[in-house]
Amino acid sequence: MPVSRRSFLGAISPGTAAYSPAIVAARGREAFTAGGAAPTPRSEAKILLDSNENPLGPGRAAMEALTRAFVDAGRYPTNARPSMGDLREAIARRNSVKPENVSMGSGSWELLRIAVRLYTSSSRPLVTAAPTFEMPEKMADQLGIGVRRVPVDKDGRLDLDAMAQAARWAGLVFLCNPNNPTSTLHPARAVADFIARVGQESPETAILVDEAYHDYVTDPGYATAVPLALEHPNVIVARTLSKAYGMAGMRVGYAIGQKHTMDAFNRWGITFNQNSLAVAAAIAALDDPAHIEAERARNTEARAFTTRIFKDMGFRVMDSQANFVFVDIGRPAKAFKEDCARRGILVGREFPPLQKTHARVSIGTIDEMQRAGVVIAEVLGGGRPAPAGSVNEPRRPR
| Cα(307)–Cα(348) distance, integer angstroms | 16
Q: Where are the beta strands (DSSP E) in 50-106?
A: 102-106
Give me the pLDDT at residue 384, please: 57
Contact between 49 and 368 (Cβ < 8 Å): yes
What's 1-59+288-398's CATH class? alpha beta
Give me the pLDDT at residue 338, please: 96
Q: Are strands 358-362 and 126-130 parallel, antiparallel or unpaired?
A: unpaired
| Cα(196)–Cα(44) distance, integer angstroms | 49
Domain boundaries, the chain: 1-59+288-398, 75-287
- Cis preceding linkage at 99, omega within 30: no
Distances (CA, A) of 212 to 106, 109, 112, 230: 13, 10, 11, 18
Give me the pLDDT at residue 23, please: 40
One-letter identity of residue 245: Y
Contact between 365 and 46 (Cβ < 8 Å): no
Q: Are strands 126-130 and 172-176 parallel, antiparallel or unpaired?
A: parallel
One-letter identity of residue 272: F
Q: Where are the beta strands (DSSP E) in the chain?
A: 47-49, 102-106, 126-130, 147-151, 172-176, 206-210, 235-240, 252-256, 316-317, 324-328, 345-347, 358-362
Give me the pLDDT at residue 351, please: 97
Q: Are strands 252-256 and 235-240 parallel, antiparallel or unpaired?
A: antiparallel
Contact between 197 and 206 (Cβ < 8 Å): no
Contact between 50 and 347 (Cβ < 8 Å): yes
Residue 26: Cβ-neighbour burial (10 angstroms; 0-12, 13-18, 19+): buried
pLDDT tens for the chain, residues 1 to 398: 444 444 434 444 444 434 444 444 444 333 333 333 333 345 566 899 999 999 999 999 999 999 999 999 999 989 989 999 999 999 999 999 999 999 999 999 999 999 999 999 999 999 999 999 999 999 999 999 999 999 999 999 999 999 999 999 999 999 999 999 999 999 999 999 999 999 999 999 999 999 999 999 999 999 999 999 999 999 999 999 999 999 999 999 999 999 999 999 999 988 898 999 999 999 999 999 999 999 999 999 999 999 999 999 999 999 999 999 999 999 999 999 999 999 999 999 999 999 999 999 999 999 999 999 999 999 998 655 555 554 433 333 33
Give me the pLDDT at residue 35, please: 36
Quick one: which of 111, 124, 104 has its CA closest to 172? 124
Give me the pLDDT at residue 385, please: 58
Determine the straight-line distance between the first and last CA of the chain, rounded to whole angstroms.
60
**CATH classification number, 75-287, choose in 3.40.630.10, 3.40.190.10, 3.40.640.10, 3.40.50.300:** 3.40.640.10
Contacts of 276 (CB under 8 A, 6+ apart): 69, 72, 73, 75, 76, 77, 80
Beta partners for 324?
A: 362
200-227 core/surface letters (b: 16 or more CB in 10 A; e: else): eebeebbbbbbbbbbbbbeeeebbbbbb
Phi-psi region of 314 (alpha: psi -120 to 50; beta: other; left: phi over 0): left
Distances (CA, A) of 66 to 9, 58, 84, 134, 186: 10, 10, 14, 31, 36
Contact between 368 and 305 (Cβ < 8 Å): no
Fold: same for 1-59+288-398 and 75-287: no
